[in-house]
Copies of this chain bind each other. A is one copy, B any other.
Amino acid sequence: MGNYIEGMSSEHLERKTRPADSRRRGESVTEVEEHDLPRQAWTLLFELMHAHMRNFPALAAEFELSPVQAHVLRQLGEAPLAMSTLANYLSCDASNVTGLVDRMEARGLVERRSSEQDRRVKMLVLTDAGAALRERLLERMAEPPEAIAAMGDDDLRALRDIMRRALKPQ
């Protein structure tokens, strides 16, 4: 992982027509644009996020964390997490989590604890130092980028409400 942050120029999408198999014939330009609405919105969103995500490795480095370690710290909240669950969350093979946790444990951020129910399983818990660093990291990550900070209140309210609806379960 890493910078894995990524973007896409809106120029590309806004100049392209839809793929032929989804194109309806005989519709006006306005209708075409309406049909492409999800694509248009997504592309612009992507562009804004990409510009910001380029800075994520540097942000993690402020806390002497690799990008992946920063993700793990964010994910490890109150509840203990099995190694396999973390691997699943990171979308990576379980073998990678061993070394990742080794490094974070060596630094005193997390601890492995054998599960009582199933002694194959090792649960990860934050140490006090890990929890403290996590709070600082989350505060830092919550700082909005310039493009957001500069928006007017009306747009911010609308954006917040749209995102709440989009993220609402179901």
Asked if A44 contacts B164 (CB within 8 A), the reply is yes
- Chain A positions 78-131 with a Cβ under 8 Å from a chain B Cβ: 90-92
**A142, B46: Cα distance in complex, Å:** 9
B166 with A1: CB separation less than 8 A: no
- By a CB distance below 8 angstroms, the chain B residues around A3 are 1-2, 4, 67-68, 71, 90-92
Determine how close the nearest CB of chain B comes to the CB of A155; give it in whole angstroms: 5
Contact B142 A44 (CB under 8 A): no
Q: Cβ of A158 and Cβ of B166 under 8 Å apart?
A: no
A52 to chain B, nearest CB (A): 9
In chain A, residues 117-150, which have Cβ atoms closer than 8 Å to a Cβ of chain B? 138-139, 141-145, 147-150
* CA of A71 to CA of B9, assembled, Å: 11
Please, which residues of chain B bring their CB within 8 A of the CB of A12?
Answer: 138, 142
* Given known A-B contacts A44-B164, A158-B158, A166-B148, A53 and B8 have beta carbons under 8 A apart: no
Answer whether A158 and B167 are a contact pair too, CB < 8 Å, given A1-B57, A70-B6.
no
Q: In this complex, what residue of B is CB-closest to A89?
A: B54
Instruction: Say if the beta carbon of A163 comes within 8 Å of chain B.
Output: yes
User: Residues of A with Cβ closer than 8 Å to B?
Assistant: 1-10, 12-13, 16, 19, 34, 37-49, 53-58, 67-68, 70-71, 74, 77, 90-92, 138-139, 141-145, 147-151, 153, 155-160, 162-167
Apart from A2-B67, A6-B56, A12-B138: 6 A-B pairs, beta carbons within 8 A: A38-B148, A42-B143, A44-B163, A44-B164, A45-B163, A53-B53
